[in-house]
Amino acid sequence: MTPDLIKTLTLALFFALFSGVPGAIAKATGESVTLLNVSYDSSRELYKNENAAFAQYWKKKSGQTVLVNQSHGGSGKQARAVIFGLQEADVVTLALASDIDAIAEQKFLSPNWQKRFAFNSVPCTSTILFVVRKGNPKQIRNWDDLVKPGVSVITPNPKTSGGARWNYLAAWGFKQKQTGSKEEAKNFIRALYRNVSVLDTGARGSTMTFAQGGLGDVILVWENEAHFILNSFGADKFEIVIPPSSILTELPVAIVDKNVNKHGSRKCAEAYLNFLYTPQGQEIFGQNFCRPRNPAMLKKYFGNFAKIKLFPLKEVFGNWRTAQKTHFCDGGVFDQINAP
């Protein structure tokens, strides 16, 4: 067990006691099946819609009634809850591959989990945008504007939130591509986090801090979460800012073999994740401002997405294992720039 996992055991136990999902453990019978999808913080509305559509699909296909329970939180915290047995997930739909890798390292699923479904088990993608207060009083247009004196930035804690790690890497990648220097990128990230006033544990918590709590001039968010803020809290109060470039974020899915074997739910769990790749499942992604992998659906919902130049993770960071170890594990760059 890694030091990161040991260090966060107390957090995971707290999470289990106070954030549990009633009836979350899956049970499969001849007439019904219950699944638990442990997901990241900003996917609530998305999977509410996917689950309802899948329930109808599965009833028609198999005759079984299926209930998909949901658990949401910071992606890193969610992964640890699965590892410690506090959330007996049948499937995980997390914010980044390294969190599912961490679950695989504890023998809950195969280390080759990404080969099980199309597009490396990534049924949709997204990116990171800004949301500012109406009128954009601090005139925030690009990543460089985030480090200006007097600008208050809201973003979650990369130690617990997958979205926060994408925010961090998007900012780092912007500066490294701009300057060609890792040292300049590190200095930029240090300056950026000096302007961060609150580090919530998850992306939705940061949304509430910004939109409901009134803190911050700008929040770094998933594309779908940006629209959630406008739709939920008022387009008359907030506006989306699209920087010239950002990172292409991939949102992976996986079956948790250890748990589906225990619950007898594998057949339904596999059908559930396969459903996300069907035209109907892909359309729901597009409707919820997540970028479908199906070209026809991506074209159909093209107007929902920011016109922005995207760079893939591998272009700057290699892969998620390298990025996680370098930047977010204990003693990594984030800890270094956050040291008192």
Cα distance between residue 221 and residue 127, in whole Å: 8
**pLDDT, tens digit, 9 for 90 and up, residues 192-248:** 999 998 999 999 999 999 999 999 999 999 999 999 999 999 999 999 999 999 999
**What's the CATH number of domain 3-122+252-276, 3.30.420.10, 3.40.190.10, 2.60.40.10, 3.40.630.30?**
3.40.190.10
Nearest to 272 by CA among 41, 61, 71, 81: 61
In whole angstroms, what is the distance from residue 216 CA to residue 5 CA?
31
Q: Which tens digit of pLDDT belongs to each residue from 83-137? A: 999 999 999 999 999 999 999 999 999 999 999 999 999 999 999 999 999 999 9
Q: Could you tell me the CA-to-CA distances from 273 to 189, 211, 253, 267 in Å, in that order?
A: 36, 32, 7, 10
Tell me: pLDDT of 28 over 90. no
Residues of the chain with CATH 3.40.190.10: 3-122+252-276, 126-248+310-338
pLDDT beyond 80 at 162 = yes
pLDDT for res 340:
66
DSSP state of 217: S
Task: Residues 126-248+310-338: name the CATH superfamily.
Answer: Periplasmic binding protein-like II (3.40.190.10)
Across the beta sheet with 253-255, the strand order is 65-72, 32-39, 91-93, 253-255
Alpha-carbon distance of 23 to 51, in angstroms, equals 16
Residue ranges with strand state E in 4-123: 32-39, 65-72, 91-93
Task: Give the relative orientation of helices 162-179 and 182-194 as an angle to the nearest 10 degrees.
Answer: 130
Q: 195 near 201, Cβ under 8 Å?
A: no
pTM over 0.85: yes
Q: Is the pLDDT of residue 5 over 60?
A: no
Farthest-apart Cα atoms in the chain, separation? 62
